[in-house]
Amino acid sequence: MTAAITGVGAYAPRFRITAEAFEEAWGQFQAAGVTEKAVPAADEDALTMAVEAARRALAAADVDPGTVDWLGFASSRPPEAEEDLTARLGAMLAVSESATRQLFVGSTRAGTRALWAGADALAVDAGTALVVAADAPRGDPDDGVDHAAGAGAAAFVLERDGPAAIVDRAEYAAPYPGTRFRTTGDEATQGLGVTQYDRQAFTETIGGAVAGLEIEPEPDAAAIQAPDGKLPYRAAGAAGVGTDEIRAAATVHDLGDLGAASVPVSLATALEDGYGTVLAVSHGSGAGADALVVEADGDVPTNTALEGHDPLSYAEYLRQRGVVTTGPPSGGGAYVSVPAWRRSLPQRYRLEAGRCAECGALSFPPEGACANCGALAEYEPVELAGTGTIEAVTTISQGGAPPEFAEQQARSGDYAAAIVALETDDGTETVSAPAMGTGAAPDDFAVGDRIETTIRRVYTQEGVTRYGFKVRPAGE
């Protein structure tokens, strides 16, 4: 039984840094073929980018997240070294708590591993699978890995029938230690930098995976793993494709090395552009490769957001990444225990308000006495739409942020703090809530402006990162 892609979503952060900015700082740029790359904001990581892409894929497929039976999340650099992040991701998306979940980490091949496993799940008993790959590699500042390292995410809704079928797949592995690795406890991904050795590992495994396919694909586009902007083209012969087919799906030139999301994002853009047959081939150090053939019969529903519009200088780039900031101040923050934070997750993740059983007024959060009638009756859960209007707004500058937000303020600069009127699904009612701004400069938030919510990092205490909703200008 083949698996079919019925919805595609993709996301990349709005920040960009160019090759020229690196050259001005270092006198050279070591990421061949990369013109510019995407940079995650201070409150973004692989998990928040995964949410962005997954929501787009679910909307494109017109699938209720509560009907997802299988959820897979892939990243070579998850925000936590040890934690099953599919629990948080599923809660943020409102996936059923009983859905099967799998986490794929440890390799840039993880994205295609997740796609493979999602297809297998459909062959067993899952009716709908959601596969999400998100990544933001990092290296040492003077290293080619960091110069190429971008950020982005892609998500795919898989069902048994649909407009784009995964018709064949194969894998290949051969031992090539040292091509790309990150040791336990290290922040930076490294490589030995032995050029011929690295190329041999790349081309042999990619060629081996493609050779294992039972059909001989004649792809219109080829989504090839892209550690930089030249290596994919060097594997053209091994993959049995031309450079034009690789260029048709390439995202590395404008987004950089997307790690485990490299092939998934390229596959997403190829399907969005209407290519009929797409060859997708990943590579992971170690070394191994996956090859998948996707055949599209008609338009595939897609919903992507890959455009960047905020250029960074090299100094701003270092600040967003936290390289030149000192970290949070000691003491003085408003302490919220993890158990208390967990109790508020329905509000922070899914905007769950409450309707008073006595007077019918909405409350957010739904706790304590009703602000309208003072009753202490139970609240009926009501999930808000994630859109609304700014009622009041101010700018938080250096020295004005509460201690728990000081590190983010140091990295991202001034940010907006607002009171927003969040709407019900039908738009007939609103309820006010405080919110932090993201995705734009404070001057882009004004009273009366339309906003939409998104999931972002809020702050970290006791080593545990708190995630919750923030607001951005509608359409961002």
| Tens-place pLDDT, residues 191-247 | 888 889 999 999 999 999 999 999 888 999 999 999 999 999 999 999 999 999 999
Question: How long is the chain?
Answer: 476
Q: What's the burial of 460, exposed, middle or buried (CB within 10 Å: 0-12/13-18/19+)?
A: middle
pLDDT attached to residue 298: 83
CA distance 150 to 245: 22
pLDDT attached to residue 435: 94
Structure tokens at 435: 């919110």
CA distance 388 to 397: 25
CA distance 431 to 381: 13
pLDDT attached to residue 174: 96
DSSP 3-state assignment of 381? strand
Assigned CATH for 3-320: 3.40.47.10
| 281 phi, psi to nearest 5 deg | -130, 115
The one-letter amino acid code at 422 reads L
Range(s) for CATH 3.40.47.10 in the chain? 3-320
CA distance 98 to 104: 19
State the residue for tokens 């500042």: 141
H or E element: which one contains 73? strand 70-74
pLDDT attached to residue 287: 95
Separation of CA 89 from chain center? 11
Q: What is the pTM of this model?
A: 0.94
Q: What is the pLDDT of residues 273-313, one digit of tens each?
A: 999 999 999 999 999 999 999 999 989 999 999 998 899 99
Cβ atoms within 10 Å, residue 163:
16
Structure tokens at 81: 């070294």
pLDDT attached to residue 332: 53
Q: Angle formed by the axes of helices 86-93 and 46-61, to 10°?
A: 40
CA distance 42 to 151: 12
pLDDT attached to residue 71: 98
CA-based nearest residue to 158, from 223, 76, 276, 63 = 63
State the residue for tokens 């201690």: 403
pLDDT attached to residue 201: 95
H or E element: which one contains 253? helix 252-255
pLDDT attached to residue 335: 78
pLDDT attached to residue 328: 59
Going by C-beta distance under 8 Å and a sequence separation of 6 or more, which residues neighbour residue 425?
383, 384, 385
From first to last of the 476 residues of the chain, give the pLDDT tens digit.
579 999 999 999 999 999 999 999 999 999 999 999 999 999 999 999 999 999 999 999 999 999 999 999 999 999 998 999 999 999 999 999 999 999 999 999 999 999 999 999 998 887 999 999 999 999 988 888 999 999 999 999 999 999 999 999 999 999 999 999 898 888 888 888 888 999 999 999 999 999 999 988 899 999 999 999 999 999 999 999 999 999 999 999 999 999 999 999 999 999 999 999 999 999 999 999 999 999 999 899 999 999 988 999 999 999 888 876 655 555 556 778 899 999 999 999 999 999 999 999 999 999 899 989 999 888 999 999 999 999 999 998 877 777 777 777 788 888 999 999 999 999 899 999 999 999 899 999 999 999 999 999 998 888 899 999 999 999 87
Sign of CA dihedral 94, 97, 99, 100: positive
Contact in structure between 151 and 40 (CB atoms under 8 Å): yes
Contact in structure between 302 and 6 (CB atoms under 8 Å): no
Cβ atoms within 10 Å, residue 402:
12
